[in-house]
Amino acid sequence: MNRDHESARTPQDQTEQVELQTAATQPAQGEQQTQPAHGEQPKQPMQPAATFNGAPLTAAPGATIAAALIGSGRQSWRTTRGGAARGLFCGIGVCFDCIVTIDGESGQRACMIPLANGMTITSADA
Ligand code: FES
C-alpha cells in the first residue's frame, strides 16, 4: 500500500477535507432537512391506509398496492374466466396478472401503483 500520497497532505488539506465533507452533509438553503436534529425523534412518513374488497389495507410508505396485498398475506387477488388464481407475476407492469379496480377505475396494475391513503381497491373480478 502506498502511503506517500496520504502523508503528503498538510494539516490544512485535512481541515479543508473535513469542511467539504461537512458541507456535503448539510442541506442546501431551501432544502428540507431529512435527518432529525440531535435529540429529536425521527419523523415517520404516514402509513397509507386503504381498503381492499372492504378490508383495511396498509403498507410501508411508498409500497405498491401489490406489495401491500402480498404483505397482508394474499398470494392472489383475482381469478381468470377459467377460475385460475392470479396475483403478482412479473412485478414490473408487463403481464397484467395483478390488475385491480381502484376507486372504480378497472384494469389498474397493482404492481405499478403506490398504495395511497383512502384508496378503495377491489379485485378485478369482484
Ligand atoms: S405483476 Fe405483471 S403487470 Fe403487475
Mean pLDDT of 26-49: 66
Distance 92 CA to ligand 1 centre (A): 6
pLDDT at 7 over 50: no
pLDDT at 98 over 80: yes
Closest CA to 119 of 46, 49, 47: 49
Q: For ligand 1, which residues put their CB under 6 angstroms from it?
A: 88-91, 93-98, 109, 111
Distance 65 CA to ligand 1 centre (A): 11
In whole angstroms, give the CA distance from residue 94 to residue 69.
Answer: 18
| Contact (Cβ atoms closer than 8 angstroms) between residue 48 and residue 117 | yes
In whole angstroms, give the CA distance from residue 109 to residue 66.
Answer: 8
Using only the alpha carbons of the chain, give its radius of gyration.
Answer: 24
The answer to the question of residue 117 being in a domain is yes
Least confident segment among 38-42, 70-74, 111-115: 38-42
CATH of the domain at 65: 3.10.20.440
Q: Give CA separation, 20 vs 8, 16, 23, 27, 31, in Å.
A: 19, 6, 5, 13, 18
Q: Which set of grid coordinates corresponds to residue 9?
A: 497532505
Note the helical H segments in the chain: 4-7, 11-25, 65-71
* Domain of residue 96, residue span: 49-123
Ligand 1 atom with the smallest distance to the CA of 99 is: 4
Distance 110 CA to ligand 1 centre (A): 7
The answer to the question of residue 26 being in a domain is no
The answer to the question of residue 7 being in a domain is no
The pTM of this model reads 0.66
The answer to the question of residue 21 being in a domain is no
The position carrying cell 398475506 is 73
The answer to the question of residue 90 being in a domain is yes
The answer to the question of residue 10 being in a domain is no
The answer to the question of residue 18 being in a domain is no
pLDDT of residue 5: 46
For ligand 1, mutation pick of 89, 113, 121, 123 (most atoms within 8 Å of CB): 89
Closest CA to 93 of 108, 78, 81: 108
> How many domains is the chain built from?
1
The answer to the question of residue 2 being in a domain is no
Q: Which amino acid is at 58?
A: T
